[in-house]
Amino acid sequence: MTLIKSISGIRGTIGGKTKENLTPIDAVKFASAYGTFIKKRNSNKDNIKVVIGRDARISGKMISNLVANTLLGLGIDVVDLGISTTPTVEIAVPIENADGGIILTASHNPKQWNALKLLNEKGEFLNGLEGEEILKLAENEDFCFADVDSLGTYSEDSSYLQKHIQEVLNLELVDVDAIKRANFKVVVDGVNSSGGIFIPALLKELNVSCVELYCTPNGQFPHNPEPLKEHLTDISNLVIEENADLGIVVDPDVDRLALVSEDGSMFGEEYTLVACADYVLGCLGGGNTVSNLSSSRALKDITHKHGGTYTASAVGEVNVVIKMKETNTVIGGEGNGGIIYPDSHYGRDSLVGVALFLSHLANKKISCRELRDSYPSYFMSKNKIELTPEIDVDKVLDSMASKYHNEDVNTIDGVKIDFIDEWIHLRKSNTEPIIRIYTEAKSQQSADDLALRFINEMKEIL
């Protein structure tokens, strides 16, 4: 069992001992730290408000109740969206003029996990310094609760399903009419979480025929909830059976989007962003894009095709958002199927991704597989080296950067080395003694061979 504290929040497995797992005591302690942080930031305000929402996992209601009541005890007003999505809570925070938000979700982790994801007043994830401050508050238990006459108020708001959908439909580049004319038939795998409510509801507004697979929001995930190829055989088969135009897969909190082509093949999580960016850049006549260092080179290729500038950020959504703002990016995200579209909000949003992708497909008037085949084809390999605690990981990475200094080397997050036809990204884990190794090349064999070559070279240093 596990409890992981980081600058982005706290996550862990339900049950077991405090400080080792995500127990009720740990949830209350961390919610207290976040609430205290929000109060300090807004010490001049009489009323402080926080929006909360959760995915459909089994422990969600319990954790949500603990968090909500802790915030009330601190004198903070709570608006509870109930079963919701990460992007829905993100857009609700500024609409509600709230001072922050908490999403109760462990994202793609299995059902025994849960987590608290923390937002600022813009509905965006906290930065590193803010996260560190909350961790210190939690460690020191430096909390001050409200007296009985100053407790917060609690309200529920179930209107944000429709508000979120309407916000998506109102986006200028979402071609509602074209999607309706296309008469798409789509299979949706909502992994029995909130995506099983939100994605079909969006498709209904677009007159898309929807075949639901695992769309009952009971938290009983029917397969590993991370939307990777090896977990998605059921939807691949059903897309073919139903003669559907494509399949749509989301993770439990609906911030990652994977697609299945009409022949049952994976469109590829990396290519979700590529396709959406291709559409947006085409409509705008160009523009800048951002993804993280571990994402596919295909986005860079597509951006350059449209005359735009591509920039890579450090890994992590908050880092992508910072770089997007710096470079006035029109669309960005992560290669795990996370679409960030600033015209909507600065957060990964599968509803936005679905609407942009269907707009693209409807206007191109080609099949999903044909669209995928139109993009540069790259293959990835993901590996790791386990290290003993005494090894200086930074020294190993510095050695690799020095050895390949004549290549295109980026050291903002580990070491990324760009060769002409392939790249490798080496970065240390924040939670375990390993070096993660990501490679991409024009064939799977080349990607695997590049990874093996660098593993052997690093072993010589260790």
Q: Which residues are catalytic?
A: 107
Concatenating the DSSP letter of every residue in 367-431 gives: -HHHHHHTSPP-EEEEEEEE--TTS-HHHHHHHHHHHTTTSEEE-SSSEEEE-SS-EEEEEE-SS
Rounded Cα distance, 324 and 137, in Å: 30
Q: Strands (DSSP E) along 251-330, which ranges? A: 257-261, 289-292, 310-313
- Among candidate residues 245, 250, 235, 253, the one with its CA nearest the CA of residue 206: 245
Rounded Cα distance, 92 and 181, in Å: 31
CB 280 within 8 A of CB 173: yes
Name residue 168's amino acid: V
Rounded Cα distance, 235 and 246, in Å: 10
| Helices of type H across 106-256 | 128-140, 160-169, 176-182, 195-205, 233-241
| 146-157 core/surface letters (b: 16 or more CB in 10 A; e: else) | eeeeebbeeeee
CB 47 within 8 A of CB 77: yes
Residue the block writes with tokens 């677009």: 206
Q: Determine the 3-state secondary structure of 165 from DSSP.
A: helix
Q: Please enumerate in sequence order all residues whose Cβ is within 8 A of that of 106, keeping only pairs 6 or more positions apart, or say none.
A: 11, 57, 113, 114, 115, 252
- Among candidate residues 277, 294, 273, the one with its CA nearest the CA of residue 286: 277
- Among candidate residues 65, 245, 243, 242, the one with its CA nearest the CA of residue 156: 65
